[in-house]
Amino acid sequence: MKIALLGYGKMGKEIEKIAIEKGHTIELKVTSDNAEFSTSELIGIDVAIEFSRPEFAVSNIKKCFDANVPVVVGTTGWYEYLDEIETICIARNQTLLYATNFSIGVNLFFKLNTQLAQLMDKYPEYKVEVEEIHHTQKLDAPSGTGISIAEQIIENNNLKEKWVNENSTNEKELEITSKREDKVPGTHSVYYKSGIDEIEIKHTAHSRSGFANGALLASEWLAKNKDGIYSMQDVLEIK
Ligand SMILES: NC(=O)c1ccc[n+]([C@@H]2O[C@H](COP(=O)([O-])OP(=O)(O)OC[C@H]3O[C@@H](n4cnc5c(N)ncnc54)[C@H](OP(=O)(O)O)[C@@H]3O)[C@@H](O)[C@H]2O)c1
């Protein structure tokens, strides 16, 4: 595949390494130096992979739509524009796959989290909490993955109505605690705590290669699929 890397930082470089090993070619790399790249530079690209910064994701996605290039988006923190992007994608028959987390392990964790939330719905004596830990350069808090985990719990557990990123004494609010520590690629935990015991599920990323591998898997899958909006659950067939 001919790939455009929209964002060539920690993730872009990791994706490049694995893409070349798999026989793909990188035709375009975008950083802040060439952020004003034109749509014509995307001509002939099979898939664009967007791991940039929250404030640039939306305009990069729109450029891909203009160029008719399927786009895989890993950048988090831009989701207030998701409805607008999805509407444009459908109206213009474009192809989009976005995920708060591309790691296969996290997507299996999402499934487990959903099932556990359904099970725990009958046991209000367990207080549920979410914790996410990331490296200190991370720009958004809580993490996109942390928000996905919280939303899965809220959808499947009647006790919680919304998430908050602070301590809360309101029983209807689900606390997401964000911690920033040096060199942590991403750790997510869900706790169910009662007075007598505690259940914990936890995913620990040991490096960024799981995200990069997943993003490439998604890109290969997307290049073979037709117009529409997709997720990692589609790629992994774990809906
Ligand atoms: N979904 C997932 O699985 C997953 C996993 C890890 C990270 N992420 C997310 O992916 C994003 C990138 O993470 P990262 O760790 O790679 O960040 P990073 O190291 O800061 O890299 C960001 C890159 O974007 C470039 N950039 C700046 N302006 C741009 C523009 N207008 N268009 C395109 N690129 C531009 C930066 O260039 P300069 O260096 O010149 O500024 C840099 O190369 C973050 O939102 C992060 O939360 C998602």
Q: Is the CB of 29 under 6 A from ligand 1?
A: no
* Residue 172: pLDDT band with limits 50, 70, 90: very high
Residue 217 CB partners (closer than 8 Å, separation 6+): 102, 104, 235
**Separation of CA 33 and ligand 1 centre (Å):** 13
Instruction: Examine the residue annotation and report whether 135 is marked as an active-site residue of this protein.
Output: no
Question: Which CATH code of 3.40.50.720, 3.10.20.30, 2.60.120.1130, 3.40.430.10 fits the domain covering 2-102+209-236?
Answer: 3.40.50.720
Instruction: Examine the residue annotation and report whether 134 is marked as an active-site residue of this protein.
Output: yes
**CA-based diameter of the chain, in Å?**
62
Superfamily name with CATH number, domain 104-204: Dihydrodipicolinate Reductase; domain 2 (3.30.360.10)
Amino acid, res. 143: S
pLDDT in tens, 82-139: 999 999 999 999 999 999 999 999 999 999 999 999 999 999 999 999 999 999 999 8
Say if CB 55 and CB 32 are below 8 A apart: no
For the chain, give every domain's residue range: 2-102+209-236, 104-204
Q: Is the CB of 35 under 6 A from ligand 1?
A: yes
Task: For the sheet with 162-164, list strands across it.
Answer: 162-164, 173-180, 127-134, 187-193, 198-204
Q: Which atom of ligand 1 is nearest to the CA of 37?
A: 32
| Burial of residue 183, with CB atoms counted within 10 A of its CB: 0-12 exposed, 13-18 middle, 19 or more buried | exposed
Instruction: Report whether pLDDT(12) > 90.
Output: yes
Lookup: tokens for 235:
């790629």
Cα→Cα distances 201→36, 113, 188, 197, Å: 43, 8, 8, 14
Q: Is the CB of 152 under 6 A from ligand 1?
A: no
Cα→Cα distances 28→13, 40, 50, 76, Å: 12, 11, 12, 21
- Three-class SS of residue 73? strand
* Residue 197: pLDDT band with limits 50, 70, 90: very high
**Separation of CA 6 and ligand 1 centre (Å):** 8
* Residue 43: pLDDT band with limits 50, 70, 90: very high
What is the predicted pLDDT for the residue at 239?
78
pLDDT in tens, 13-28: 999 999 999 999 999 9
What is the predicted pLDDT for the residue at 225?
80
What is the predicted pLDDT for the residue at 226?
80
What is the predicted pLDDT for the residue at 96?
98
Lookup: tokens for 195:
């007075």
* Residue 163: pLDDT band with limits 50, 70, 90: very high
What is the predicted pLDDT for the residue at 224?
87
Instruction: Report whether pLDDT(51) > 90.
Output: yes
What is the predicted pLDDT for the residue at 89?
98
- Pairing label, strands 47-50, 25-30: unpaired
Per-residue pLDDT averaged across 26-33, rounded?
A: 98
Lookup: tokens for 79:
């989701």
